[in-house]
Structure 1
Amino acid sequence: MSFDQKLKAFPSVRERYDAMGAAGEVDPDAAQRALADRLDRLIEELGQKRLSKKGSALGWLFGRKTANREPVKGLYIYGEVGRGKTMLMDLFYALAPVKRKRRAHFNDFMADVHERIHAHRQAFKRGETKQEDPIPPVADALAEAAWVLCFDEFTVTDITDAMILSRLFSALFERGVVLVATSNVQPDNLYRDGLNRQLFLPFIDILKRHVDVICLDSRTDYRLEKLNRQPVYVTPLGDAARRQMDVAWDAAKDGAEERTDILVVKGHKVAVPRAAGSAARFSFGDLCSKPLGASNYMAIVRRYHVIFIDDVPVLDYARRNEAKRFILLIDTLYDHHARLVVSAETTPDKLYLASSGTEAFEFERTASRLFEMQSTEYLEAVASGDPRAIQGVPG
């Protein structure tokens, strides 16, 4: 049964969640069930708002009378990685009775906002608009395109984002936009220790006035619990390896809808062929046969915490450029404490055949790290979220 068919068969988040539990797709959890019920209440409120305003087109979004109407409060759902936040928001988004809705990773949304602001400022310079302030027209355009916004992994690390969020979201909320977001941190800890954080604090107050804050405090990380039962380095390549990787991938997805994704890094696009929640799956060629560099790998590991790499081949001097990228990739994943699942032609210490050149020396470190990333100590440290527990391999 396809994802769409399942949604039709189980028309509420709770019904779909319970069906997934009965089918063994998720391990039923009281906190997740409670969140499913709360998402269903929000779906009901959105449906009532849509029906009550059906005859007024967009007027209720932009009219001054909006202030006199009872707004729909969104949800801000936070909790540790792997608690099921993304899976449940996927179900909510698919079932929300709203045509004009948008689901995006928060970083992608902000990249879009910055592009819109830049375009407006250029238009102002050319005399095409008399409106100097870009925030109101950008908010108008965003609200007209979608009055329900769903953000995955809501986080603020960029000072440029931090400086505009208060004004931008004040304008969006004034236009009736409803926000549903997942995050690993509670609102009060957003942009913690950030530069000029005092200028960001008004946004936190605005956010908490327009959303109900929910902590999804599941008793364990079910996704990693399932993934821990699977091998994390599969060799040799072949049908058996592909089957093992697929089983591990299903465990990492933990019911989240699979999709393709695009990361924009310094104006360049990096394709993510398979993504689900905070897990992403690539082939070796996707990551190492293309001209990718450190900034690309950094963007990937910041977005995704569990990385799958299929079909790592044995490399030699003729493929040293691919070897260099693989070395850089593993260094980046290791330094950021990512969970790595790999299928490879042979064991880490036999992946690079050349005995000369700097790559041969550097690959010794890569092989060592690949072995360590399979260790119980590394996996437990990743699951605990405490990077200090990971004992690094010297240089």
Structure 2
Amino acid sequence: MPAAPHPDAVAAIALTDRRPTVPAERLVAEMVPPPRFAGVSFGSYIPDGSQPSQYEAVQVLEQFAASLNTNGSGAPKRSWFRRSAPAPSGPAGIYLDGGYGVGKTHLLASLWHATPGPKAFGTFVELTNLVGALRFQGAVEALSGHTLLCIDEFELDDPGDTVLVSTLLSRLVENGVKLAATSNTLPQKLGEGRFAAADFLREIQGLSAHFRPVRIDGQDYRHRGLPEAPPPYTDEAVTERAAATPGASLDDFDGLLEHLKNVHPSRYGALLDGVESVFLRGVHQVDDQATALRLVVLADRMYDRELPITASGLPFDQVFPEEMLRGGYRKKYLRAISRLVALARDSAKG
């Protein structure tokens, strides 16, 4: 039998009831670092003492930011670390390569904060969605006046997107826009292990010429010395906690996954508007790749907004099968697991 209503029960939001629409103006206005990285800086980045590449990456980005500063002095700002690294030259941008959880997004957002505007920050998916909303020439016009374009989670999973982004970035570079990007793969390796990778290898190689690769080694900071995924709750406990939590969303995992098929990934952020914590019943392993990739995007948007997740069913470190974790999208799935587990831990602290 269902649990009795909590005396302080509130009406939880059902994400499956939402079908948001996002105007193009909002897409442009929201091209800023997500809330989790709204106040970060090079000084707040905590490098792993055993990983010199993390110190060196900060140096490279500090000097890159100084080169974009309009004060005309040409002198770099004070460095947070004593190590020195050569200032970037030649390519129009910086490419941060490293595993998930080494702080690439933190550093990319720090660069954005340290650079004079106008400037834009978005994920690769958000950039392609912007082009879809504004059309290609509209996107070129909207971004050409910018000092810097930061692209987080640079992915080339689709040949069409590869050509689109390659052409867009080439046009922006011609118009004087500097670029910075993060990914788990070096530019010349993008698409490796993916379906139809050979079909767009030429475009990938052309894209890589725009960036100076900067490697960041290290282990996932979210799991440094921390426990594994917390044990899941019961369905009844999830329902009760959601009823007692203002700003909670409450959905069955199956229903939410089905609903995501009918919501464009560019709207997943809007899907979470007003939500302060997420409650899910019946989390299970996701065997369909298209569904799994949609879940990855939703996990990214929940992580950006620092939404704790309370869930029943399987722990999040078991949500993707081993076959997927060995496939071409392995790094995407590992990043999603890392973020979902972190959000589940946040909920367990409450």
Q: Which has the higher helix share?
A: 1
Distance (Å, rounded) in 2 between the aligned partners of 1:103 and 1:210: 17
Alignment match, 2:230:
232
Distance (Å, rounded) in 2 between the aligned partners of 1:234 and 1:102: 38
Alignment of 1:342-361 (within 5 A): 342=344
Alignment match, 1:204:
204
1:38 paired residue among 39, 44, 60: 60
1:295–1:273: structure 2 CA closer, same or farther, 3 Å change rule? same
1:217–1:264: structure 2 CA closer, same or farther, 3 Å change rule? farther
**Residue identity matched to 1:44:** A
Q: Report how far residue 180 of structure 1 moved.
A: 0.5
1:303–1:84: structure 2 CA closer, same or farther, 3 Å change rule? farther
Q: Deviations over 1:237-276 (max 9, x none)?
A: 79xx9xxxxxxxxxxxxxxxxxxxx9994377334759xx
Distance (Å, rounded) in 2 between the aligned partners of 1:161 and 1:5: 28
Q: Report how far residue 309 of structure 1 moved.
A: 5.7
Q: Percent identity?
A: 23
**Residue identity matched to 2:61:** L
Alignment match, 1:164:
164
TM-score, normalised by the number of residues in structure 1: 0.50
**CA contact under 8 A between 1:270 and 1:296: conserved in structure 2?**
no
Alignment match, 2:108:
89
1:101 paired residue among 119, 127, 141: 119
**Residue identity matched to 2:224:** E
Distance (Å, rounded) in 2 between the aligned partners of 1:6 and 1:164: 32
Q: Report how far residue 156 of structure 1 moved.
A: 0.6
Q: Deviations over 1:104-129 (max 9, x none)?
A: 01111111112322xxxxxxxxxxxx
DSSP-derived class of the 2:213 partner: strand
**CA contact under 8 A between 1:263 and 1:269: conserved in structure 2?**
no
**Residue identity matched to 1:213:** P
Q: Report how far residue 213 of structure 1 moved.
A: 0.7
DSSP-derived class of the 1:200 partner: helix
Distance (Å, rounded) in 1 between the aligned partners of 2:177 and 2:109: 19
DSSP-derived class of the 1:103 partner: strand
**CA contact under 8 A between 1:166 and 1:203: conserved in structure 2?**
yes
1:189–1:282: structure 2 CA closer, same or farther, 3 Å change rule? farther
2:279 paired residue among 264, 284, 302: 284
DSSP-derived class of the 1:76 partner: strand
Rg: which structure is higher? 1
**CA contact under 8 A between 2:96 and 2:214: conserved in structure 1?**
yes
Q: Report how far residue 139 of structure 1 moved.
A: 1.9
**CA contact under 8 A between 2:117 and 2:147: conserved in structure 1?**
no
**Residue identity matched to 1:34:** E
**CA contact under 8 A between 1:170 and 1:206: conserved in structure 2?**
no
**CA contact under 8 A between 2:128 and 2:165: conserved in structure 1?**
no
Alignment match, 2:189:
189
**CA contact under 8 A between 1:166 and 1:202: conserved in structure 2?**
no
Alignment match, 1:179:
179
**Residue identity matched to 1:110:** T
Runs of 5+ consecutive residues of structure 1 not aligned to the other structure: 53-69, 118-134, 242-261, 275-280, 314-325, 346-395
Q: Report how far residue 211 of structure 1 moved.
A: 1.7
TM-score, normalised by the number of residues in structure 2: 0.56
Alignment match, 2:6:
none
2:94 paired residue among 64, 68, 75: 75
**CA contact under 8 A between 1:83 and 1:216: conserved in structure 2?**
yes
Distance (Å, rounded) in 2 between the aligned partners of 1:72 and 1:46: 14
Alignment match, 2:141:
140
Matched, 1:113 2:99: no
